[in-house]
Structure 1
Amino acid sequence: MPVRRRRSTALAAAVATAAALGATALATLGGATTASAAESPLSDYELTWGIKQSYRTYVGMFGSFTASEGATQAAGNGAFTFTDGTGTYDTTAHTVDLGFKGRLVSASAAHHFEVTLTDVRFDSGAGEITADVTAVDTSGATPVKKGDDVPLATVDVTREMTGMATTLTTEAGEYLGSADYAGAAGDPLTVAKKTQPSTEPTTGPSGEPSTEPSTEPTDPEPTDPDPTDPDPTDPAPTDPEPTAPETTPGPQDPSPTASTSASPSVPASAAPTKGEIVDGTLGWGVKESFRSYVVGNIAKGKVTVSGGATQAAGNGAFTFKDATGTYDTDADKLTATFEGAVNFKGHESGGEYGLDLTLSNLKATLDGGTGTLSADVNSLGARTEGVVLADLKAESGDLRAAENVITVDGIAATVTEAGAEVFGNYPAGTALDAVDLSVALSDDARLPDGDGTGTTGGAGGSGGSTGGGTGSAGGAASTIGGTGTTTGGSIGGGSLASTGSDIPGPALGVAAGVAVVAGAGAVFAVRKRRTGAQPAE
């Protein structure tokens, strides 16, 4: 059970006042004489908070989160939930002080950091989230940084305690590795009593089914301090998930194509079991965290599609069109090449980009349910054709045509060794967004409506242009990319590298912590000599 270390400011002041001014009089009255008489015990609460979406994206790019000992993380690199919250409710001030179980570790072997949060606490009177924090530079270059009850964020407390706005503190920036976090908006916070399953239905005062567990109906629910509301009702929030953070879009469905339901009844001649592909679409988001990284406050870049490719709204997945190739449903084989390109730019400095990556001419192959996804890659001006980016594995190896259309959705994709060189920070075997493809086998076949929403830009107005997308960053940038990224056979690596001081990570104060990843060293070594840039302090 978490040990309570600190009381709320308001409650501490009340205790001090009572002790100094009223202790004798209260003793004379012979009643309950301590300030603690105004407190009621609380138990079985949950706290859900994502810290900051861009921080989760950063860690997901370069490392991983591990939640244990009562803490969990939502799917898709989502928010964290800490459980078994216990504490007190001040029935006079209407404030709560709760401590939660759970251990959260964010770590990156490549960038030499490990940050651990334990004993997470929420104090509505003080309006803050605290935790015990340990930050380690795993390279050993800087000492371990530890702190108890470190204030991580201030909270705009609301009566319902759901979706409360948070603001990160200076201390949060120090421990998470980015001074820019100080004063920045954090993810929304929700504190709610865990709803217990009940075998017998219960009813509330209005006769409606109660969401509170029937075995513990008397736990008071805290509210904002409000002297005009001496008897707060129990709002019993039932949704512990926070609302979407800031203006950053939530994870998008990486599948821009439609479902596999049969197309509307249209006359179509029967296609042979093998032959030429007439048309088709491929839906793929590359990787949701990569898209977020490019347009987020680290790379501060944009995503641009061209050549007939489209991107779903909200910095979503991409659709590539006009497929050509061959199929053989008897042998369960398919090879399809798709038109369209997508360009990722970021880390701009003086008109040059540290990240300028274009993928085009995507090609998917399947043979008995397994295959590959390849593309022509242009990174910082260095172009390589037919790079196998991902290994594919479909749920079924059976290729079947319906209405002269073969549709295979949800194909698992994992990064290959060559793809790891292209993306720089994803080790081989890392899961990418799933792939959806549909190909038409005859001229009169109708493909599912899967060409997105018509928007081509990334989040926050970072894209929108359908022109260009060649991957060229201009003469100087292309030259640097050409000389720096082909060394040792690297295919334009370093796409995700950054030397900006806004990159989180305690180790960034030393050379080992600078974000130089596979294939990127030469690029940034050249750039440092030209600009005089130094590692972030």
Structure 2
Amino acid sequence: MSSHLRPMAAAAVLVTAAALGTTAFVLPATAGGGARAATEKAAPTPITNGTLTWGVLERYRAYVLGMAKGEITVADGATKNTDDTFTFGSATGQYDGGGTHVVTAAFKGSVTFKSTLHGFEVTLSNLRFDTGTGKLTADIKKNGVSTPAVPLATVGFTGPVMDKLTTKLTKEFADQLGSDTYKDIAGDPLSAKLELAQPSPSPSAPASQSPSPSAPASSSPPSPSSSSPSPSADGPQQLLGGRLTWGMKESFRTYVLRAKGTVTPADGAARNGDTFDFTAGKGTLDAKKGTLDASFAGNLRFQYADHHIDMTFANPRISAQGDKGLLILDVKTATADKKDVPFATLSLPKADYKTANGVLALNGVRAALTAEGSAAFLNGSASMYPKGERLDDINLAVTVDKDTTLPGGTGGTGGTTGGSGTTGGTGGTGSTAGGGSVGGGTAGGSAGGNLASTGAEVPAGPLLAASGAVIAAGAGAVFLARRRRTPRG
């Protein structure tokens, strides 16, 4: 291993045994020369799991349970700890190890503070943070009014380990809690533990070579650049396959299932954990212009007879250019049948449209309802969600190489999800899909919608890869804890 280490601002790798808390030693995340250059070009590494623990503010909890004679409840995968703090799980997001070393992460679960005596009900959901900005945000539903992406606190991401970090509450959060006295005061300490996807062996290796679990330390997640020159890379390329993974909207899905309704994938769609795969991708990719037009087969039908819900979302299409895009759907409800609805805006602030070994993967793509999407999302004559409502994030992978196998996926089609509290609900980790992340901004989900008993949600995009990596990160340094593989003879 080279003795030339990058500056301390770079991430460091903390190698541990399979269990947390065991004795560890530190290695540099990158070395000089070619290894450094390769890492700087690498795609962001997906976060596949993890937890965030925070109590919000002890003083506020005491007020709710004491003077306000209220209650505090957790749901959607969050848990309450013995010290009265809360743990949110099933983290998604990414670590940008190619230059900024910024971690963006979102967590499932919600906590509700309610007092009938004092007339308030405040639900925090979809907690997420960005170590680059130092902000902790959440979607808040207060007395029935949803406000997405409320900055809750600034977090002291100053050290290499995310354990008992300082927090300072914001004015925006103080307003939501109903008292200016909470502005700029110290909140409860925050801790987080995250897992990263391990790099996959490059599929571009010669056929005579087998991927080795003891690959050199300079191996990195798939690069957003193609591993070999392509004569057609300077113009539009035909897509020869593709898969889009999406859960539509977690709170709506959960609402239907908990009410013993059904969610049925068909015609090319297949269940993938708590989300769904749409297959048979086709269209065009122009890496030079940074454009993608891709269509996928399949539909999702949501049925809940007692509330007269019968909705089908079909044939998703992605039209993206640069850092923006549209999700286009056919939407059928009991009262309307609309084709080619520009259903949601897409945010791709870090998308790179170059393929890696013939594959373009865009993960954690943020989606929000358009006015047209809101108008098409009908129950009877009323729209169920307003313009701007966050939907689940989207993961997609397309290929321009007929011999390339797409990462992840379910491989099957069809199947009906029956409604129960444990089927298709919240709090699970999902299943694996996708590969190295190329796109995606801050991972996250949406505010809890306008449905009773839906809860608030984090996007239900699948975990992107099997992982044995644990990250404990600050703004300037990230520790990546990876389980060693034992070579098998």
- Larger Rg over CA atoms: 1
> How does the TM-score come out when normalised to structure 2?
0.43
Greater share of residues in strand: 2
User: Which is bigger in relative contact order (C-alpha 8 A, separation at least 6)?
Assistant: 2
> How does the TM-score come out when normalised to structure 1?
0.40
